[in-house]
Amino acid sequence: MANSVLDQARDELFSHINRCGVLHASPEDQETWMSETVDYLAERYPELGDPQLDELHAIGMRFCAPAINHGEEHTAVDQENATVA
């Protein structure tokens, strides 16, 4: 079964996100990068309308923001200090 144009654009967006290192950028830089990349995708996929492009932008921004924020320090208890409940 052929992918829809939106699916193709989404897959390309995810590929760009992974290759360009935007995951490590500040939220402001991510927003700018995402807007510019969605504009590029709009040119590559002229069949997509504004609702689909807005959806791509939202999907991309959610992909860049992990559900669990990972900092430099871990919060897991090491085995030696673990308590049994």
Q: What pLDDT digit, counting tens, does each position of 7-38 carry? A: 999 999 999 998 988 988 899 999 999 999 99
Cα 71 to chain centroid distance, Å, stands at: 18
pLDDT score, position 12: 95
30 lies in some domain: yes
- Judge whether residue 75 has pLDDT over 80: no
Mean pLDDT of the chain: 84
Give how many domains the chain has, as a whole number: 1
Give the containing element (helix H, strand E) for 6: helix 5-20
- Judge whether residue 58 has pLDDT over 90: yes
Q: Name the residue among 1, 13, 2, 19 with its Cα closest to residue 52.
A: 13
Which domain covers residue 16, as residue numbers?
5-64
pLDDT score, position 1: 39
39 lies in some domain: yes
20 lies in some domain: yes
What secondary structure does DSSP assign to the chain, as a single string?
-PPPHHHHHHHHHHHHHHHHTGGGS-HHHHHHHHHHHHHHHHHH-TT--HHHHHHHHHHHHHHHS-SS---SS--PPPGGG----
